[in-house]
Amino acid sequence: MPRAGLSPDAVVDAAVAVVDAGGPGALTLAAVAGRVGVATPSLYKHVRNLAELRHLVTSRVLDDLAERLGEAALGRSGDDAVRALMRAYRSYVVEHPGRYGAMEQTATPEGDAAAERLLGILYGALRGYELAGPDLVHAARCLRSAVHGFAVLEAAGGFGLPADLEASYELLISMVTGGLSRPRAG
């Protein structure tokens, strides 16, 4: 019988708290069990194994990120949408480096609602550039790579030079939006 109050969502909540406190490497079934006050085998009533728990954490982070990005881009288009999305993405990573770091960066299986929602938001923000097919995919990949790289380096303390970090990020945003606004060769 599952413990009263313990559910798959509660297990994921505890897993997210574990990675927020200790980083991605802290995520173990024993750590999660300790956080919710049960023996490790009790978790198997709610998740199959650590791999499934990691996937559930990834889905939660993708949901959270999609929520933040969707709110930022809502009602905006073109450069304005991309700027808002890039700022919101960066702030999420910097505010939650543990959970973002715990997110699986491999291609998420098709059918994962959280991944599809996030991709839809990225595509929506890029809609103002009249991109389609492979061009849209390339642009989404470049946008994600730029923000991910900058934000992960920032969250890890990777920018030690004295130049203004905000100015650097605004330059990155300008580089991305400028590149998206350029005509593409067929």
Each residue's pLDDT tens digit, 50-107: 999 999 999 999 999 999 999 999 999 999 999 999 999 999 999 999 999 999 887 6
**Beta carbons of 69 and 88 less than 8 angstroms apart:** yes
| Average pLDDT score over residue span 109-135 | 88
Query: With bands split at pLDDT 50, 70 and 90, how would you rate the model's confidence at 1?
Result: very low
One-letter amino acid of 159:
F
175, 177, 183, 186 alpha-carbon torsion, rounded to 10°:
90
Looking at residue 108, what is its pLDDT? Answer: 62
Looking at residue 89, what is its pLDDT? Answer: 98
Closest CA to 126 of 62, 104, 134, 166: 134
What residues contact residue 50 under an 8 Å CB cut-off, 6+ apart? 27, 28, 29
Closest CA to 45 of 8, 78, 72: 8
Looking at residue 184, what is its pLDDT? Answer: 64
Looking at residue 4, what is its pLDDT? Answer: 55
Residue 2 has pLDDT above 50, yes or no: no
Residue 109 is classified by DSSP as P
